[in-house]
Amino acid sequence: MKISVGQISPTGDVAHNLEVMGRLAAHAAQEGTELVLFPEESMFTVKEVDGDFREAVARDWPIFVAGLAAIAEKNGLAVVAGGYEPNNGDRPYNTVAAFDAAGNELSTYRKIHLYDAFSYQESRTISAGDPEAVPIFTVGGLKFGVMTCYDIRFPEVARRLAVRGAEVILVPAAWFKGDHKVEHWRTLLKARAVENTVWVAAAGSSTDQTVGYSAILDPVAVAVDFLEDEREGLATADVLRKRIDEVREFLPVLVNRRIGVKSEIEAAKTASLKIISGEA
């Protein structure tokens, strides 16, 4: 099947952001795309929201998901994008919503790993999702999983998705700029693809604070199509199960993995404890 990643520069205005996504989705549909992915914060960016953040989330989340459903139905393709979901008066969730080509909800994923790094504290305003909730949904005969932005630094999330059958991992992101950050982003996308022999499709927002660099990578981490730091655009590729099968024929990492093997660090700790206790 053909999928696209849409790179946008979200604002604090949900209506404007939906208009941009609708326009890109229409272009993607003309290319024969069956699923289009948009970035994290496609609903709006936290830094540009007027007034109280929680009030804005409560007001705009229903508008956002209804808008995504309408874009999907109008263009006859699945739409996946990230926004902020109310959480019963608590800090909202950073949530990715997926809709099928008829506008029906396929899945939602709440970001597990909050970006408390590089002097930023996402947990001040956002609640983490359930670590066990890593849903998989099907479009065009392929199985999709989702991990959001900072999640990609944690390989166990992608591995769990792959083991549960995901053939394509979708990565909506708002990857902050900074020293070496583009290199980190590209390296992590490649690693998640090749270590799990899955397709990876990443949609990054491109703003004054975020890098863009959206891409679709095959199961040996070759970027089949990609964007750099342009503010708006589409990358599109034919994502085939056949390619997964070909790669897993000569690189059967999921079959070869040994779950019970301890890491060197764990083994060293065990040896040290034995020495201290006099068992060694």
The set of catalytic residues is: 40, 111, 149
CB 164 within 8 A of CB 134: yes
- CB neighbourhood size of 7 (10 A): 27
- CA-CA-CA-CA torsion for 108, 68, 224, 208, nearest 10 degrees? -100
- CB neighbourhood size of 160 (10 A): 17
What are the strands of the beta sheet with 2-7, ordered from one edge?
105-110, 90-99, 78-87, 35-37, 2-7, 233-238
DSSP E strand boundaries for the chain: 2-7, 35-37, 78-87, 90-99, 105-110, 116-117, 120-121, 136-139, 142-146, 168-173, 199-204, 215-217, 223-226, 233-238
Residue 96 C-alpha from the chain's centroid: 8
